[in-house]
Structure 1
Amino acid sequence: MILSTAQVPAGGWKPVTPAGEQAITAIAEQPDRTLLCSDFDGTLAPIVDDPTQARIDPGAKAVFGELGGLVGQLAIVTGREVAMARQLGGLDGASGLERLVLLGQYGQEQWDAATDELVVPPAPQEVRQALIDLQNLVAEPSEQNLRGVVLEDKGRAIGVHTRRAEDPAGAFAWLEEPVARIAQQHGLVLEPGRNVIELRGSSITKGDGIDTLVERFRPSVVVMMGDDLGDLAAFARIKELSAAGRLTGVCVVAGSDEQPLVAEQADVLCDGTEGVVAWMRALAEALGQER
């Protein structure tokens, strides 16, 4: 079945698999053994032209925090650095997020809000070298107008953003080959996304991040909320663990026309960040009634 947000009420959500239909009930039966994970950009925070200006939607932050007191564990798994996610999300000391675990750079960086323990490995030199090549690439004259293309230095990764370019799709298509060549030259991992191509110094995925969280918290139910290609590995790992009978997995997708492939992994399909907020509110209401 081909899924799209056209099938979802505006600002709402829709279960599209049996797991999606049973998700809230499954969580309500074992709230203390539920791990609720989310991506940052495009899921809790609406996509914006300038990635340095992304902010968690106030409604998303409020209900995510409310769920922090209703489920066993909250986690954010993002491609951003921990420091940037903490800053943009206003996560330090946020109500309901006192026990939040934040995995940055797909899990290379970790922050535990309860203990304030922070793990940030050194950035690989290969990423520094690739950044110079990318700066030269976007600065050089070319047959494609690259005006507005932005490089985001994430320390262990670099994002090449085309959303602010005069021709975002054309710039993205033109950049794919030379950016892939630079990644190969420096032994970096290439990760395409929504108007962004990311070069990473590690092959670790959000699926590995899910494994880290499952091993630590031993949940019976795991929910992952995401929207982009980088979340596919997390969705796939949750489905594998669920199929193996190790836990009940639920994939909640903030659907978009930019990444229709991601919608195909949904158990619950949402109309962007608004839909994710609506689903979390429904979950919070159900859990509140159980108490």
Structure 2
Amino acid sequence: MLFSSIEGERRYTELVRAAAGSVIGLDFDGTLAPIVDDPTKAHIHPDAREVLVDLASEVAAIAVITGRPARQALDLGGLEEVGDAIGAAGKELFLFGQYGNERWSSHRRRIVGPRPPRGLATFERELPRVLRQADAADAYIEDKGLAVAVHTRRLDDPEAAFQRLLTPLRTLASGHGLIVEPGRNVIEVRSSGAHKGLVVERLAEELGAEGFLFAGDDLGDLEAFEAVATLEKHGLAALRVCSASREESALLELADVVVHGPAGVMDLLRAFTRDARAARAGG
């Protein structure tokens, strides 16, 4: 791992000391699982189960906070089994899907979420026309139930198609009371009022957290980074981790620690677990 500054290293040390009362928040795609052309095949890193279960013994709770539907993340990550193991150790695994609109935990075992937003069905009907006009008719459309994601990764020039689509999709979404969430060669359209920053704030308050680590990789994680910074201002130990890639660097300037992809995240969590365990033993 690479600390962005002396301040980043200090924040890491403070979070290690506060580990027992801290929450570890993790994005899914690009953080726990690699970015792949087919989003239905983005399986969690093979070491994640072992790493997360070991980590759980040193922290208050672990939360996966993702834009994916909760059921999809549970299945791709094998998170129900991970939750079983974490629950057996007396800790809890949370999963927040669709930017916090859906919630699951290893204790309650049921996905709770709202109905699809108004305007989404009409947006979907009009979407093919906008894609044709932007010369992106072959973009992959992912129906998430509460949102729609338009992926350009499979097109000949993904970045150019992404740029062509961003403005017209914003216009179409706005006309139906929806908002746009850009990501890595993906544009997600959903209702307003939910984002990862709100999840961070609410979970920290609900659990009475003494510290919060959040690891993410793209613009959809920006509000979570900002929320962690706000928690620090209120006296919590806080650490922002960027899972960097060649494709996306939006979080680099805000991060306290930079790692390379899911493998780097696993290395960081191993180191954090080891350091927290050593601090506890020495204290």
| Same fold, judged at TM 0.5 (above) | yes
The answer for the alignment partner of 1:91 in structure 2 is 79
RMSD (Å) for aligned C-alpha atoms: 1.7
Match of 2:271 among 259, 282, 285: 282
Greater displacement, 58-67 / 84-93: 58-67
The answer for the alignment partner of 2:13 in structure 1 is 25
C-alpha contact (below 8 Å) 1:65/1:96 kept by paired residues:
yes
In structure 1, the gaps of 5 or more residues are 1-12
Match of 1:272 among 261, 274, 281: 261
Greater displacement, 269-278 / 228-237: 269-278
The answer for the alignment partner of 1:144 in structure 2 is 135
Per the normalisation by structure 1, the TM-score is 0.89
Sequence identity (%): 37
1:191 alignment partner AA: E
Is 1:118 matched up with 2:111? yes
Q: 1:66 to 1:23 in 2, by over 3 A?
A: farther
**Aligned pairs (5 A) from 1:35-74:** 35-74=23-62
Whole-Å separation in 2 of the counterparts to 1:71 and 1:203 = 29
Aligned-partner SS, 2:119: helix
1:123 alignment partner AA: P
Match of 1:213 among 197, 200, 203: 203
In structure 2, the gaps of 5 or more residues are none
Aligned-partner SS, 2:266: helix
User: C-alpha displacement at 1:178, in angstroms?
Assistant: 1.8
Q: 1:108 to 1:143 in 2, by over 3 A?
A: closer
C-alpha contact (below 8 Å) 1:30/1:220 kept by paired residues:
yes
Aligned-partner SS, 2:148: strand
User: C-alpha displacement at 1:27, in angstroms?
Assistant: 3.2
Is 1:16 matched up with 2:4? yes
2:106 alignment partner AA: A
Match of 2:96 among 100, 103, 116: 103
2:243 alignment partner AA: A
Is 1:241 matched up with 2:231? yes
**Aligned pairs (5 A) from 1:242-257:** 242-245=232-235, 247-257=236-246
Aligned-partner SS, 2:80: coil
Q: After TM superposition, where is structure 1 displaced by more than 6 Å over at least 4 residues in a row?
A: none
User: C-alpha displacement at 1:256, in angstroms?
Assistant: 1.9
User: C-alpha displacement at 1:203, in angstroms?
Assistant: 2.8
